[in-house]
Structure 1
Amino acid sequence: MNFLAHLYLSKNNPNIMIGNFIADHIKGNNYEGFSKEIQQGIFLHRAIDTYTDAHALVRKSKRRLHKRYGHYGGVIIDIFYDYFLAKNWAKYSEIPFDVFTDAVNKMFSEASDGLPIKSQEFIQYMIAYNLLFNYQFEDGIEKVLNGMNQRTKGKSKMNLAIEDLKELNKEFEEDFMLFFEDLRNFSDQKLKEIKKTL
């Protein structure tokens, strides 16, 4: 899953949100210098990614994509699913979406020091472009896909994936809605388990 889903699944706990957010920039056991709750967020992130990659509905969504994306298909589906989460936010949260994204931006601007350099750089970018809030719009997703394609120097062709989203919007959304119920249940249970062991 992409950033918005990881943050949502952190149950509004700031430290777990931070851990969940920085997890991709923490290799192996380099989490040991962080607080217990940030470590819990890192472990939750890893569990969510493993569960998501193996899920039949996510694999179904990947198969819907054009073959040109190769191994970048999983990244594209992560971004698509964040779009559908943002678009359907009121179904999953009582906190208005703009209030949630503003709070996240404020929290990360204050917590940025002490986080991995790559996380700090992304936080600056995320806040400058109000990235999370713009996930709810097709043109916001198009900008993200264009940016990802530039990062891969054009190899991923991810800029073209907006065409897939427009063509099969309904099908991707159905996949997401079914999958996200499974993921929410899994994540809730996994977080309880992690809290018992850490």
Structure 2
Amino acid sequence: MNYLAHLHLSGESEKMLVGNFIGDYIKGNKYLQYEEEIAKGILLHRQIDSFTDAHPLQREARLLFRPEFGLYSGIVVDFIYDHFLAKNWSQYSTLRLPVFAKKVHAILLSHFSTLPLRVQGFLPFLIQHKRLVSYASVDGIIQSLKIMGKHSSLPSKSEEVERILLENYIELEINFAAFFTDLLDFVSEKQGIEIKKPDLMTGL
């Protein structure tokens, strides 16, 4: 999963959120260098990624992107899933997405000195350009992929991602909804993390 999903799946613990956000940048047993709650967030990040990579629905979505992206197809699907999460945010969170993003920004800034240097480097950009909120649009997610393509080994084929996404949009959205239901259950039941959900019957 990408940033938005990891942040949402951290529950109410600020330090767990910090750990979950930086999880990709803490390798091996280096999580032991962090205080307990942040370390738990790092391990949660790894558990979410392992669950995601092994899930048949995520594997099914990867097949659409594999001809163009090969081993990087999973990264593309992670971004696509964040798009559908942002687009349908009101189904999953009691906070509006801009409010949630501002809350996350404040938490990460308050722990800025704890963040790895690479994260310190891109966090101001993520905040300034409202990346988390931008995921709700196709243009926003494609722009994020373009940026990642410039700063990583991800193939710079954002136009192909957009084409495949739009050609399979309904199927991918259905795929995400079913997958994310399973992921929420995994985090809640197996990891013991409470994720506050809106009451869709009352709008609360």
1:118 aligns with 2:130: no
How high is the sequence identity, in percent, across the aligned residues?
A: 39
Cα distance, 1:36 vs. partner? Answer: 1.1
- Write out the 4+ residue segments of structure 1 that deviate beyond 6 Å after TM superposition: none
Q: Which residues of 2 match residues 1-20 of structure 1 at below 5 A?
A: 1-20=1-20
Q: Which residues of 2 match residues 80-95 of structure 1 at below 5 A?
A: 80-95=80-95
Query: Match for residue 44 of structure 1?
Result: 44
Distance (whole Å) between structure 2 residues aligned to residue 154 and residue 186 of structure 1: 29
Give the residue type in structure 1 aligned to 2:150. Answer: Q
Query: Match for residue 63 of structure 2?
Result: 63
| DSSP 3-state at the match of 2:118 | helix
Give the residue type in structure 2 aligned to 1:163. Answer: R
1:191 aligns with 2:184: no
Stretches of structure 1 lacking an aligned partner (at least 5 in a row):
194-198
Q: Is the 8 A contact 1:72 1:156 kept in 2?
A: no
Q: Is the 8 A contact 1:148 1:158 kept in 2?
A: no
Q: What count of residue pairs does the alignment treat as equivalent?
A: 193
Query: Match for residue 22 of structure 1?
Result: 22
Cα distance, 1:159 vs. partner? Answer: 4.5
Cα distance, 1:192 vs. partner? Answer: 2.6
| DSSP 3-state at the match of 1:101 | helix
CA offsets, 1:110-160, max 9 Å, x none?
A: 211122111211212211211101110111111011112222467352442
Distance (whole Å) between structure 1 residues aligned to residue 152 and residue 116 of structure 2: 22
1:15–1:152: structure 2 CA closer, same or farther, 3 Å change rule?
closer
Distance (whole Å) between structure 2 residues aligned to residue 66 and residue 32 of structure 1: 35
| DSSP 3-state at the match of 1:65 | helix
Stretches of structure 2 lacking an aligned partner (at least 5 in a row):
194-204
TM superposition score normalised by structure 2? 0.89
TM superposition score normalised by structure 1? 0.92
